[in-house]
Every structure is written in C-alpha cells, then in structure tokens.
Amino acid sequence: MPPTVNARISPHLEQKLAEYCVKRGVTRSDAVVRALDQYLDAAADGVNAWTLAADLVPEEGADTLQSDNARALARKGMRATRSR
C-alpha cells in the first residue's frame, strides 16, 4: 500500500475540491495526487512521462480506456476469420 499523507485544508478549498471531483468524476485522492504531481513538476521545471501524456488520458481515467479497448479488441477477435 502506498504511503499516506494527511493535510489540513480550508473549508473553501475543500468545497472547490469536492465540486471539481463531482464535475470530473474522479476521487479526491486522484485529484490531489495529480495536482501535487503537476505542481512539483512545474516547480522543478521537470518533465516526466505523466506530464507528457496527461492530455491523452481521458478524464474517466486510464482504467476505463483500457477496459473499453479490451472489450473492443475481444469483439474484433471473435468476429475475425479463423484458419483451420
């Protein structure tokens, strides 16, 4: 299990976070981790794989993208002509 970080935030910031999460359909942890990662990368002027690919991952998350793709590939494979 990854390490846990606890932080106190103002009620105003908590409200903004809750609204963001509902609008985007993400968990609070997901939103905070992504925001912290982006902030630290910007502060260090660094680029990593996540920052380069962040705009390619749908807002629903990579799990949805991968599972949808797996279903499509399975359907395509079932319809393909098979040699005997």
> Residue 3's pLDDT is what?
87
13: how many CB neighbours lie within 10 A of its CB? Answer: 10
Q: How far apart are CA 51 and CA 44, in angstroms?
A: 13
Domain membership of residue 48 as a residue range: 11-79
pTM for the model = 0.52
Question: Is residue 19 included in any domain, yes or no?
Answer: yes
Q: How far apart are CA 47 and CA 38, in angstroms?
A: 10
The average pLDDT across 47-53 equals 66
- 54-83 pLDDT, tens digit per residue, is 666 666 655 555 566 666 767 776 676 666
> Residue 1's pLDDT is what?
75
- Among residues 19, 27, 15, 18, the alpha carbon closest in space to that of 61 is found at 27
Question: Is residue 22 included in any domain, yes or no?
Answer: yes
What is the number of domains present in the chain?
1
Question: Is residue 5 included in any domain, yes or no?
Answer: no
Question: Is residue 64 included in any domain, yes or no?
Answer: yes
Question: Is residue 3 included in any domain, yes or no?
Answer: no
Q: How far apart are CA 54 and CA 39, in angstroms?
A: 13
- 9-45 pLDDT, tens digit per residue, is 999 999 999 999 999 999 999 999 999 988 887 777 6
Question: Is residue 2 included in any domain, yes or no?
Answer: no
Question: Is residue 68 included in any domain, yes or no?
Answer: yes
